[in-house]
Amino acid sequence: MGIDDIQLNFNPTTLLLMNILIGFIMFGVALDLKPADFKRTLRSPKPFIIGLSAQFFIMPALTFLLVLIIQPLPSIALGMFLVAAAPGGNLSNFLTHLAKGNTPLSISMSAVSTALSIVMMPLNTVLWGSLYGPTNEILRSFMIQPGDLVQSIVILLGIPLALGMYVNHKAPRWSAKASGWMKKFSIVFFLLFVAGALAANFNYFLEYVGMVVIAVFLHNLLALLTGYFSARAFKLPEQDRRAIAIEVGIQNSGLCLILVFNFFDGLGGMAIVAAWWSVWHIISGLTLALYWSKRPALKTKEVTV
């Protein structure tokens, strides 16, 4: 049985708990968000627009080209399309700060990309998956509708984000205190979530992870380079380049994993891509952030083009 034929499954109770966990993590992220995080983009829109364009337009398109070049198995390719469509991960702000990047820009991108992903994530996944023959067959076999994905993402992301921002607005002091420990717990819960997904299907993971290691390495490298050089092409300062590189390269793969189990019955290649991405982007992101932390980002003036 090949990786395209296996299905990694949680029982319904475990899957429900995982859905609640993702919502809890998103609620914790939102406790640190304010309307000012969104308004900030209006005062300095250029880096923000470049970053989101790299994340939601350039990266999915380049992922399609990468899939054409390396020709991974169909379920692996669809996993790559799903990850490429995801918003930034919950570690990106921390890594940007460590890398001496533009942390406010990172926070703004995380906030707005998460909100936009309610529409952009299902749109990009279905669009690029439909354009590639082998993955289009998978989409057709599961009868995936963009509206169903939107509904699920609204529940997993939209509602917790709205509640978190509402609580932050009504009880800012409590939110400021809770945000710190919520971030720590979110990281722990995220790691436990990935560990749970791997442990429940460990034999499959060991057997097939070798097939996805190179694909995920190349895909993650492409994401980091896409973010950095998109910003560099438009003459953005080094701090902005670092922030955008990390935002594009650190994806919310935990959300991807949940969607794989909810909509694709734990399809082998997709699940293992999302699970291994969850591990690898921490390694690559932390390595890059530590490298940049030793090299000051000069606050050069932006050059208008």
pLDDT at res. 304: 38
Domain ranges of the chain: 14-293
Of 87, 23, 10, the closest CA to residue 51 belongs to 87
Token pair in block for residue 10: 């949680």
d(CA 142, CA 107): 35
Q: What are phi and psi of 88, to 5 degrees?
A: -65, 150
Q: Could you identify the residue written with the tokens 């996805």?
A: 212
**Per-residue pLDDT tens over the stretch 7-17:** 666 556 666 77
Class of residue 59 by CB neighbours under 10 A (exposed 0-12, middle 13-18, buried 19+): buried
pLDDT at res. 59: 97
pLDDT at res. 305: 34
Low-confidence ranges of the chain (pLDDT < 50): 300-305
What's the length of the chain?
Answer: 305
CB 215 within 8 A of CB 52: no
**Per-residue pLDDT tens over the stretch 244-290:** 999 999 988 878 888 888 788 778 788 889 888 888 888 899 899 99
Of 208, 213, 206, the closest CA to residue 279 belongs to 213
For the range 232-235, what are the long-range contacts, defined as Cβ-Cβ under 8 Å and sequence gap of 24 or more?
234/46, 234/50, 234/305, 235/302, 235/303, 235/304, 235/305
Question: pTM score > 0.75 for this model?
Answer: yes
pLDDT at res. 299: 57
Could you please state the CATH topology (level 3) that the domain comprising 14-293 is classified under.
Na+/H+ antiporter like fold (1.20.1530)
pLDDT at res. 43: 75
Q: What are phi and psi of 267, to 5 degrees?
A: -50, 125
Residue 96 CB neighbours (<10 A): 30
